[in-house]
Amino acid sequence: MTRGALVVTAALTLLYGSSADGLRVSLRSTADAYLTAIAQVAPIAGRDTTYDYFERLNEDIALLDDPSVPNGYADSDWSAMVSNVGTLDLSLAKQLLARSFVPMNSIRGLAETFVRSSQDGTMQPVAVYVPRNYAASRAAPLVVLLHGRPQSETQLLAPPYIARLADMTGTIVVAPWGRGYYNFRGSASDVYDALQAAEHAFTIDPRRRFLAGYSMGGFSVFEVAPIHATDWAAVMSVAGALLGSDSTRLVALMPRTPFYVLTGSADDSIPTAYPTATAAFLQASGLNVSFYSQPGGTHRLVTILPILTQAWSDMHDGIVRASSMPFAHVPLPASIPAMPVKP
């Protein structure tokens, strides 16, 4: 076993007692119970995605059994990510089985809960991070964060660096599932349901509500944000881009909204030319845009943390950084490309 695998195993052992077997056993037993009861769960969760939650449990078991640590992760951060995503997905399945859901206002730290859909009344999952020093007497910033493809909301919020960013600015983060591993087209109401639920559960500063997205979510923000343009103080796209078909509507509805566009110069999934073209178009259209490129950064968020940290701070502080680089006139992409690298 490699040193990294030993570290991961040791960390999980500390978390779950004698070994990581405790989490594996819980995941397997819950998967069995979930599959047995899936016909009863489907009307509650929505038939299109009910089976996805069963598959998550099995994927989490496979992740526990895989000793490899992806490039860019410290061993301790990867072990925490593995345990977090398993714990969140376990909570999701158990809540559905029990038909009892965690009150969002009770959450401190990282947790999974559900929000009732205004579209069809089903219960839709949302991952939530609340800084432990949050106090209802003090209004907090809110980031609604959209996941990539194929990725779940639990996988997006599980890495410890998300908590570090949130703690740095005292920000509550909510990540809706959006009914699938693909885009948010057709499920934008779930995003706004999550926003409304967070505003009911916590004291949110209305001047600091932000919409952010990563990878496929970084494309989706440009579709979702204009639906209720005045809800957002700023929009962040990480490893995503504005599609040409969305550009006229965005400029018309959000002419004064600041945009934060991030890319890794070596992104192996979304060509860096796409975010660059997005920043160029927004700038040429007279919008406030800050552009960040991480030298050598790939599609994995962990590899672009320096610029993500800077952009996160800038967005919260209302800082717009005019780019000093000359933008080439590159057309906006016409569609979201196939993503060969999983976020």
Residues 15, 25: Cα–Cα separation, whole Å = 14
Residue 181 confidence class, pLDDT cut points 50, 70, 90: confident
* Number of other CB atoms surrounding residue 40 within 10 Å: 12
Among candidates 57, 46, 28, 72, which has minimal Cα distance to 298?
72
Q: What is the pLDDT of residue 131?
A: 97
Q: What is the mean pLDDT of the chain?
A: 92
Residues 278, 241: Cα–Cα separation, whole Å = 6
Are 145 and 157 in contact by the 8 Å Cβ rule? The answer is yes
Q: What is the number of H-type helices and E-type strands within the chain?
A: 12, 8
Residue 207 confidence class, pLDDT cut points 50, 70, 90: very high
Tell me the percentage of the chain whose pLDDT exceeds 70.
92
Residue 336 confidence class, pLDDT cut points 50, 70, 90: confident
DSSP 226: G
Residue 10 pLDDT greater than 60, yes or no: no
**Average pLDDT, stretch 158-169?**
97
Query: String of b and e for 52-61 (b: at least 16 CB within 10 Å)?
Result: bbbebbebbb
Residue 19 confidence class, pLDDT cut points 50, 70, 90: low
Q: Where are the domain boundaries for CATH 3.40.50.1820 in the chain?
A: 105-338
pLDDT tens digits for 313-323? 999 999 999 77
**What kind of fold does domain 105-338 have according to CATH?**
Rossmann fold (3.40.50)
Computed on alpha carbons and rounded to an integer, the radius of gyration of the chain in Å comes to: 20
Are 339 and 300 in contact by the 8 Å Cβ rule? The answer is no
User: Tokens at residue 229, please?
Assistant: 């343009």
**Average pLDDT, stretch 266-279?**
94
pLDDT tens digits for 81-139? 999 999 999 999 999 999 999 999 999 999 999 999 999 999 999 999 999 899 999 99
Extended strands (E) in the chain: 109-116, 123-130, 140-146, 172-176, 204-214, 234-238, 259-264, 289-294
75-98 helix and 50-65 helix, angle to the nearest 10 degrees: 150
pLDDT tens digits for 46-88? 999 999 999 999 999 999 999 899 989 999 999 999 999 999 9
